[in-house]
Amino acid sequence: MPTPILHKESLIPGKTSKLVLDAPEIARKAKPGHFVMLRMTPNGERIPLTIADTDAENGTITIVYLVMGKSTALLEALNVGDAILDVCGPLGHPTHIEKKGTVICVGGGTGIAAMHHIAKGHARAGNKVVGVIGARSKDLLLFEKELKSFVDELLISTDDGSYGHKGLVTDLLRDRLKKDKTVFEVVAVGPVPMMAAVAETTRPFGVRTTVSLNPIMVDGIGMCGACRVSVGGKTKFACVDGPEFDGHEVDFPELRRRLAAYREQEKVSIDDYQRTAHGN
Ligand SMILES: Cc1cc2nc3c(=O)[nH]c(=O)nc-3n(C[C@H](O)[C@H](O)[C@H](O)COP(=O)(O)OP(=O)(O)OC[C@H]3O[C@@H](n4cnc5c(N)ncnc54)[C@H](O)[C@@H]3O)c2cc1C
Ligand code: FES
């Protein structure tokens, strides 16, 4: 169903934007951890994006995306007043949230926006939430203000040291786990190498670790098999069995291989789009 864009904000110019969509049916049902499938053109592919926030009262959902290739470039070309052709959701299982104590929510890159919704769910359930966010440099950090409005503590790292701790989110996480024995769960959302590193960091501490996987999805409803991942030696479909799984059981090398399977075709697709869009 065409879904109007009510608000657009460029978070990192040309790279990452936030859209608020008029989607009352989805907003009413969506919970942290859910995602939507979007299609921008009648013959275009459908792509998954996490619901970064909801406002059931005003009937809106928020999505945040990194411009990667053709479909996200088509999305970026839309503005307030335009409508996205199809938005289907909420999809996937919501995050398992219960009141248990301290939860550490780790986010990297665009994953910080998705993590923000999960962290909010834990805070609302009465858990103590420690946010840990990281980016290559200060200008690429997202959702700092939003997270600070409800987390108990926010730890920040940048690779180049331009803000917060100079280094990786896993340095901050390891230090925290050494000092704090009350942590019952670590949740990580971000690039695959970051989620794999978080799972290796928490493993020696024996802390439950949940990761939100981002394999290639085609239908998003369990029919096509594109989102196949291996968890604990078993085949799972991230769209209907996930997208959240036990990070200590995920076969991350396989996920990385499968995500890179169509690089050549993706390059042809964005090159063609840019040539046509620029009239060359
Ligand atoms: C459950 C889930 C939630 C996601 N949430 C977000 C989000 O909140 N914000 C965000 O920026 N990104 C999110 N992604 C990733 C996003 O779907 C891809 O970046 C997007 O599909 C890329 O499409 P493209 O045509 O712009 O780029 P392309 O050039 O086609 O692809 C660039 C890279 O994106 C990945 N990709 C390509 N097609 C798909 C696809 N159909 N499904 C998944 N990954 C694909 C591949 O790794 C590929 O190499 C999520 C993915 C999943 C599975
Ligand atoms: S995207 Fe088709 S089965 Fe999950």
Query: Per-residue pLDDT tens for 46-79?
Result: 999 999 999 999 999 999 999 999 999 999 999 9
| Cβ partners under 8 Å of residue 20, min gap 6 | 5, 6, 7, 8, 60, 61, 62
**Looking at this protein, which amino acid is placed at residue 271?**
D
Residue nearest to atom 3 of ligand 2 (CA): 222
270 and 167 within one domain? no
Output the pLDDT for position 279.
Answer: 52
Residue from 223, 231, 236, 255 to probe ligand 2 pocket by mutation (most atoms less than 8 Å from CB): 223
User: 157 with 260, same domain?
Assistant: no
> What is the arithmetic mean of pLDDT over 127-150?
95
278 falls in which pLDDT band (50, 70, 90)? low
Say which CATH number the domain at 180 has: 3.40.50.80
For residues 106 and 192, state if they share a domain. Answer: yes
The pLDDT of residue 276 is 85
Helix (H, G, I), strand (E, B) or coil at 273: helix
Q: Is the pLDDT of residue 252 over 90?
A: yes
Residue 224 marked ligand-binding:
yes
Contact status, residue 252 vs residue 196, Cβ threshold 8 Å: yes
Last residue of a domain, one of 186, 212, 238: 212
User: Does the beta carbon of 133 lie inside 6 Å of ligand 2?
Assistant: no
- Ligand 2 neighbourhood includes 259 CB (under 6 angstroms): no
* Pocket lining: 235 vs ligand 2, CB cutoff 6 Å: no
Return all residues near 69 (Cβ < 8 A) that are at least 6 apart. 266, 269, 270
Residue 206 has pLDDT above 90, yes or no: yes
Which residues form the domain of 11? 3-91
Q: What is the DSSP letter of 110?
A: T
- CB-CB contact of 50 with 143 (8 Å): no
pLDDT reading at 167 higher than 90 = yes
Hunting for tokens 């990192």 — which residue is that?
12
